[in-house]
Structure 1
């Protein structure tokens, strides 16, 4: 029986002295006995928090009472246990790391793609003149995506601007963007418009809202979320599994983080391989002396780890920057 709630939300709205706001907001969240992860930037808020229904309601009431955030939309999930262990609230340069920080070019408060409600998105997505575009990272769309969607080979959303040139062939079509909760689409759709795409739309509220209001129809697999649930079910109409175990190739919807904290790779792994490799992505990681205890969930509280020079070098060789730790 669900005794707690998890709130997913974001709001683009200027915050004066955002660093102080982040510190004060952390104490406020702790006073409500909430756990979660919130990013505060000059451009707004991006968060997932979890706690009792009473605490969550008090938090939403406070957000709405602040005139800067009264247009925030919360996606609410009932959960059997809190979706985090601790409460974090940090100041960063963006609420979702994109590298698009020039408000003269990209400003989600001024110009974005047309917001489509889930039912409207469902009706439009299969039309001949429509391209459905997933703006999330590889590990996210590998575990679940809309049927026939265009996916991009990116390790992190900050690589999205580099991929826009690959989408030139879709100019002249209607571009329907989507992501987990909508936050990435605000900047992705704005960038597409700035790059000359004319008919750009975005799924309002993202995959999570689509699951709640449209039954998740034609979303194949599961939706990656940035808390200890790791993935959540979306499709209650025609669900299928699309991901395979990295180690044996068996179909599995289960996504975990490698038990080696130095690796920490997001990947799909069946329970059998999870037990055999103790939650690691490889036998090499299984030999890591800092390996974390695998409890079957593959979710771990993040702690600082030594820099893995070899892994960074490999990423640079692939022209991939290191993965971001927080997105929504």
Structure 2
């Protein structure tokens, strides 16, 4: 049995004085020796935390004991070591940044797509009147996606609203949305309904839950995760690798961040190119004086940027 766990979760539930809650919650997490990343907003919680089995159990019990978060569903992975190095808990305007000026039109507690359990989703994906919509970013679906899924050219979820018009041709279809853990689909499906899509669904628990409960069938490639594992296996039934090395085109499932912190591009890169380019996406990035040492993983603790340089 592995000694550590990683918990992925979210909960849309109003939090009064969310900024203070974030500060208090950070102290609580540190008291349990947890590491991870939690976003707190007036609309709820979005987090991934990691630590000992005992600490994770205590954390889940504490979250469920709070009436506001009693419905929170945790996706639990047993891991060899904690999936983060530090603990962060920050207040932001949204737990998933939608890019909308008026966020009231997509309140998941009022209206969202019909939740499909993994087995239900699995039964629907091959129906003729169904389209499968990946609402994640480019670097995520480049690494892995459902067979025949429609993907969008977006760098961040806040770009999703601008793509709604491109999807208008599917208004008469059943639209099945999916993402990593379900949180983006809550807002994506709500926005689709707002724009006149009538039959909208979402994969409850996302790709991670689908892998655990439906074997990940027909999910091609790996699933990108936002911790130092970077990518995890999902499909135990008919697995495949669909991603290719950004530099040479060789089939590879390895995802890295460019070693140049001023670039930090998410790319798939084979080990040979990783060694040759020292973990960088290009020759230009190798010469950057702030280039981080490449240890073969392609994962780096976030480095503060000098004033005037964007990450």
Would you call these one fold, judging by a TM-score over 0.5? yes
CA contact (8 A) 1:178 1:202 kept: yes
Aligned to 2:95: 95
Deviations 1:257-303 (A, max 9, x none): 00001110000000000011110000110111111111111000002
The answer as to 2:54 corresponding to 1:54 is yes
Distance in 2, matches of 1:133 and 1:108, equals 18
Tell me which residue corresponds to 2:200: 200
* Structure 2 Cα separation of the partners of residues 194 and 247 of structure 1: 41
Runs of 4+ in 1 over 4 A off after TM superposition: none
Task: Output the CA distance in 2 between the equivalents of 1:209 and 1:32.
Answer: 26
**Structure 1: runs of 5 or more not aligned:** 313-321, 323-328
Residue 306 of structure 1, CA deviation: 2.7
Q: Structure 1 residues 307 and 146, CA, compared in 2 at 3 Å: closer, same or farther?
A: farther
Q: How many residues align?
A: 311
The answer to whether structure 1 residue 298 and structure 2 residue 284 are counterparts is no
Distance in 2, Cα, partners of 1:241 & 1:139: 15
Instruction: Quote how far apart the aligned CAs of 1:100 are.
Output: 3.6
Give RMSD over aligned pairs: 1.2
Task: Report the CA distance between 1:256 and its aligned residue.
Answer: 0.4
1:289 match: secondary structure? coil
Is the CA contact (8 Å cut-off) linking 1:12 and 1:44 kept in structure 2? Answer: yes
Report the Cα offset of residue 122 of structure 1: 0.3
Q: 1:245 touches 1:270 (CA, 8 Å); kept in 2? A: yes
Normalising by structure 2, we get a TM-score of 0.98
Kept in 2, the 8 Å contact 1:262–1:308? The answer is no
CA distance in 1, matches of 2:308, 2:249: 28
Cα displacement string for residues 105-159 of structure 1 (whole angstroms, at most 9, x for unaligned residues): 1110111000000000000011000000000000000000000000000011000
SS at match of 1:36: strand
1:159 equivalent in structure 2? 159
Cα distance in 1, alignment partners of residues 284 and 184 from structure 2: 34
How many angstroms apart in 2 are the aligned matches of 1:39 and 1:230? 19
What does residue range 34-183 of structure 1 map to in structure 2 within 5 Å? 34-100=34-100, 102=102, 104-183=104-183
Gaps of 5+ in 2: none
Shift of 1:232: 0.3
1:15-51 alpha-carbon deviations (Å, 9 max, x no partner): 0000000000000000000000000000000000000
In 2, distance between residues paired with 1:36 and 1:245?
Answer: 29
TM-fit CA distance, 1:104:
3.8
Asked if 2 retains the 8 angstrom alpha-carbon contact of 1:100 and 1:106, the reply is no
CA distance in 1, matches of 2:190, 2:101: 12
TM-score norm. by structure 1 comes to 0.93
Return the alpha-carbon distance in structure 2 between the equivalents of residues 99 and 277 of structure 1: 35
